[in-house]
A and B are shown apart, each in its own frame.
Chain A
Amino acid sequence: MGSGFNGVAVRAEGLVKSFGSTRALNGVDLEIPTGQVLGLLGPNGAGKTTTVRILTTLLKPDSGSAMVAGHDALADPEAVRRSIGLSGQYAAVDENLTGFENLYMVARLYGMSRSQSRARARDLLERFRLTEDGDRPSKEYSGGMRRRLDLAGALVARPIVVVLDEPTTGLDPRGRMDTWEIISELVDDGTTVLLTTQYLEEADQLADSIVVIDKGKVIARGSADELKNQVGGERLELIVADPTDLPATARVLAEVGSGHPSTDEHTRKADVFVDAGPKALIEALRRLDAESILVSDVALHRPTLDDVFLALTGHAAEEPVEQKGAA
């Protein structure tokens, strides 16, 4: 197990899946070299979870192929299941079992003996800093602890490929940092990781490469930097004291920025994409000052997933996506 798949741990080609008249996936291709992290990005409903479900054998595609750890997910799903660990979108732990019992159960179901299962459960509790709470029912755990336990469950059998479906959604910043740390450790061990997320920042931190999908199709792929360059540097955001200054502010931003500025009267906000962030910021403030426009707040943002989306698709990530119907 684990060799003979030519340096590519996961390869999906032409995945198509429809639910009724809705086409969830419309020809998704992706490839993860062994030992790397692929970030699968997209808004809700883009097809991330459907892709994950196909690669983890939970769902069969209408067409296309999926090879995971050298096994065909369609022809030999059982072999794929032995090689993967899945951590779901929400922590799939049994809340009435203790942390120890949850991991013990998963180990048993991977086919380990009782004593192996006990030892493995204790190892993982230790590694995920849950030893002290190992004998408490997991319903008493915090959200972050539950997520750690779920993540531990995915690693029980030391899988070749780990699939993490939005591992930090709903976590507080501390929990998010914890999870990132664990994922980094996995990579150090040589595990291949497929990570879905809604946060570009997260993919930025963890992923070697990123695939962006929208409406069931891959719309961009590359490293985080490559994607950000496509967006165009940073976003300069200003809040003016007097909303009647907004048109003049927009004019100034159009001059210093690289894109078309947008304004919002209600929040007195104006923003624009800029290539050279700090320089553009100083220039904008200087010109606004010259025009005696009072600025009450200013910020320079790295592009977010929303910005990537705006740039790639012309619609925001969280904007409700209209159903195209049967394509």
Chain B
Amino acid sequence: MTAITLAPPQGGFGGAIARNFRDGGVVTWRNLMNVRRNPELLLGATIQPIMFVLLFAYVFGGSFGGAPYREFLMGGIFAQTVAFNSAFTTIGMANDLQKGVIDRFRSLPMSRMAVLLGRTTADMAVNALGLVVMSLCGLIVGWRIRGSFGDAVLGFAVLLLFGFVMSWIGALVGMLAGKVEVAQSAGFIWMFPVTFISSAFVVQTTLPGPLRTFAEWNPVTAVADSARSLFGNPPLPGFERPDGWPTDNATLYAILCCIAIFVIFAPLAVAKYRKVASK
């Protein structure tokens, strides 16, 4: 019998962080292998945004001003798509839970954060691919990056960060749902008001009272406006210009929202993971 030497558990805060990343990396690898073996999993992350771009650009676009609307639209669709990514996280978590994979992970002496970190990181990689596909699609419908290279990189970075933190909410929802069938609706339902009551597809000043306030402070608005400003896409002409601190500081506000979402939902998700039981 060959002896097995298990790495001694590293103590302290640094050891715990290192283990989160090490174990998180293993789980990320596992999730990406899953995607590689099932490329159809990418359909939701690629075909769906293409459909949104084409439908909004050409079905709604005509009523909203044609080419300027298509240029305006892309920032919104980027924000909406990365937010919708959380629904895939929800389904993925529920699937692992239902199949007993989470039970196995929880019985291993691994970091309590790793399964969540691996899931959200792998979903961020899928999101990055979705952004590439959407950008190409955007270029075809007439969208252009008109700002500097640095701003464009920052624009995509904010989008990915937003998708990443939204995935932590999605992971929590997935564990609460427990079953794939429930997760499939629970993962998407809350996304519709969150993404539509924002500046993703319309100018927020056109919304009635309370919806307008909600839209102005909605992180999706901040992320969409941040993408538009960093990509150098002009506001939609002919509408009242939104104002207020979140609009004037869209990128800063978007990043603050990401931090807030992570700080609130990552601990909640980890706490839920510690107790979660397959149903």
Contact = CB atoms under 8 A, between A and B. Distances in A.
B109 interface: yes
Interface stretch (B26-34, B42-50, B68-76, B131-139): B26-34
B176 to A, nearest CB: 16
A109 to B, nearest CB: 4
Given A82-B9, A90-B100, A109-B105, 19 more contacts: A59-B277, A81-B108, A82-B109, A86-B104, A86-B107, A88-B100, A92-B100, A92-B101, A92-B103, A95-B99, A96-B37, A97-B34, A101-B30, A109-B110, A109-B114, A110-B6, A110-B109, A112-B7, A157-B6
Q: Can you list the 10 inter-chain pairs with the closest CB atoms, starting with the nearest?
A: A92-B100, A111-B7, A81-B109, A92-B104, A86-B107, A82-B109, A109-B110, A96-B37, A96-B34, A108-B26
B140 interface: no
Interface SS of A by simple majority: loop
A137 B37 contact: yes
B201 to A, nearest CB: 36
Contacts of A263: none
Interface stretch (A4-12, A50-58, A281-289): A50-58
Contacts of B212: none
6 contacts: A82-B6, A84-B107, A94-B101, A97-B30, A112-B6, A153-B104
Interface string B100-126: 110111111110001000000000000
B103 A88 contact: yes
Interface in A275-314: none
A82 B4 CA distance: 12
B261 to A, nearest CB: 28
A59 B10 CA distance: 25
A189 B1 CA distance: 10
Most chain B CB within 10 A, of A81, A96, A123, is at A96
A192 to B, nearest CB: 16
A58 B277 contact: yes
B151 interface: no
Interface in A178-201: 189
Contacts of A56: 107
Contacts, number: 88
A96 B35 CA distance: 9
B101 to A, nearest CB: 5
Interface in B1-56: 1-2, 4-7, 9, 23, 26-27, 29-30, 33-34, 37-38
Nearest to A113: B7
Given A86-B104, A110-B109, A157 B4 contact: yes
Contacts of A108: 23, 26
A242 B99 CA distance: 50
A105 B109 contact: no
Nearest to A101: B33
Nearest to A85: B107
Contacts of A111: 6-7, 9, 109-110
Contacts of B2: 119, 123
Interface in A97-121: 97, 101, 105-106, 108-113, 116, 119-120
Contacts of A82: 6, 9, 109
Contacts of B38: 96
Nearest to A163: B107
B99 A92 contact: yes
B100 to A, nearest CB: 4
Nearest to B99: A92
A157 B23 CA distance: 16
Contacts of A57: 106-107
Most chain B CB within 10 A, of A81, A105, A120, A158, is at A105
A166 B275 CA distance: 22
A196 to B, nearest CB: 14
A164 B257 CA distance: 45
A111 B100 CA distance: 21
B198 to A, nearest CB: 35
B107 A58 contact: yes
Contacts of B275: 60
A130 B107 CA distance: 24
Nearest to A139: B37
B103 A158 contact: no
A258 interface: no
B277 A53 contact: yes
A106 B108 contact: yes
Contacts of B5: 116
Contacts of A153: 104
A120 B4 CA distance: 9
A89 interface: yes
A246 B208 CA distance: 82
Contacts of B1: 158, 189
A126 interface: no
B99 to A, nearest CB: 7
A109 B26 contact: yes
Nearest to B10: A111
Given A88-B104, A109-B23, A157-B4, A78 B33 contact: no
A294 B80 CA distance: 78
A81 B107 contact: yes
Nearest to A89: B100
B33 A96 contact: yes
